[in-house]
Amino acid sequence: MCDGGGRRWKRSEKAEAFCYNPRVAISDRKVVDPELVLTLDAASEAGRSVLKALASEPRTRILEVLAGQLMNVSEIAEALSIPLSTATLHVNVLEEAGLLRADLRPGERGLQKVCQRVYDQVLIRLPGHEREPEQRIVELAMPIGAYVRSEVEPTCGLASEESVIGFADDPTSFFEPDHVRAQLLWFRSGFVEYHFPNRLPPRTLADALWLSMEVCSEAPMHDDDWPSDITVWINDREIGTFTSPADFGGQRGLLTPDWWDSRNSQYGLLKEWRVERSGSYVDGVRVSDVTIDDLGIERSRHLSVRIGVRDEAAHVGGLNLFGRRFGNYPQDIVLRLRYHGPQGPGPSGGPRP
């Protein structure tokens, strides 16, 4: 490799729909905070539950004080000047309606119930107005430098949009604080692991997952004939392997910064791993029997995504992973989830997000 030197997600069922807008970049340096919107039909069971929960001044005040912060029930009671028992009752109603999420966490005097507001807006659709269901897709983008774990072997390194991070061929560089700014990373074997927040809406089930990224092999400098077996694991289940044919160079990547040596890796291929009820696929080619149900997505707070090259692979040719500022494709690692509610799953192999 080196010579030394917001998208949105929406849930839209007959009963309710959810939207998420993760920190959308407005310019290179300005971002907008996340916004969560709940849209529902007033005639549905979920709609009636939410309307009942909101038909109380103390409960709306609880949602107000929880804007942008976590609070335990005692703090909520103190903020509203109401008895602890009353605050507990109101919190339970809001939690049952799905407007508030509460977790038990260790406190100074044992476990405490810590509360978090789930939505920023609630939109009510009155009975008598029918609308076509929206595509039910969760989409999240993860910067390549935002990995939570790495085990890599040289040749290896990282580069931001401006410079190399740490030192080339030094695995400890993957622990540099600046690793979060990486727009290109490479290693001969090992893996990097990412934790995507599980934004699957409550009481829904995933029926398909897509994961896309720009990758290629990792050769000294670059090499048009350098195969490498690049594998993806999700929630500790091996999904499948793509054999990259080359470490692409000789022509500058469309997004590759000018300071990057033209003899080094320049761009990759945009590859897609897909998991659904019928199995797992790479670019539409079936690669394993692992299904969406095998991943246990509904039971986890995050989705673990590991990308790597095994030491025992047939082709240990390393990998280059490109961010939105390097290579040919202006995207991070993108994960999409298609889901359904109680009415049943969408068709297997349905439209791609």
Terminal CA-CA length for the chain: 33
Q: Using one digit for the tens of pLDDT, what is the confidence trace for 167-198? A: 999 999 999 999 999 999 999 999 999 999 99
The pair of structure tokens assigned to 150 is: 């790495």
Provide mean pLDDT across the span 210-217. 97
The domain ranges of the chain are 16-125, 137-340
The tokens for 236 are 């500790």
- Residues counted in the chain: 353
At 282-305, the pLDDT tens digits run 999 999 999 999 999 988 899 999
Alpha-carbon gap, residue 330 to 333, rounded angstroms:
10
Beta carbons within 8 Å of 317's beta carbon, 6+ residues apart: 188, 217, 218, 219, 226, 227, 228, 229, 244, 247, 309
Cβ atoms within 10 Å of 216's Cβ, excluding its own: 29
Note the pLDDT of residue 346: 43
320 neighbors 217 (Cβ within 8 angstroms):
yes
Give pLDDT tens digits for 124-168: 777 765 554 445 889 999 999 999 999 999 999 999 999 999 999
Query: Would the pLDDT of 23 be above 70?
Result: no
Q: How large is the C-alpha radius of gyration of the chain?
A: 23
Query: What band does 265 get if pLDDT is binned at 50, 70 and 90?
Result: very high
Instruction: Name the residue type at position 73.
Output: V
Q: Is the pLDDT of residue 118 over 60?
A: yes
Q: How large is the average pLDDT for residues 207-221?
A: 95
What CATH code is assigned to 16-125? 1.10.10.10
How does DSSP assign 38-95, residue by residue? EEEETTSHHHHHHHHHHS-HHHHHHHHHTTTS-EEHHHHHHHHT--HHHHHHHHHHHH
pLDDT at 40: 65
Q: Distance between CA atoms of 61 and 23, rounded to whole angstroms? A: 26
What does pLDDT average to over the chain?
A: 84
Helices (H), the chain: 45-54, 57-65, 73-80, 84-96
Span 15-37, average pLDDT: 36
CATH topology agreement for domains 16-125 and 137-340: no
Let me know: does 288 contact 237? Beta carbons within 8 Å.
no
Is residue 281 predicted with pLDDT exceeding 90? yes
pTM: 0.62
pLDDT (0 to 100) of residue 129? 54
The CATH H-level superfamily of 137-340 is Galactose-binding domain-like (2.60.120.260)
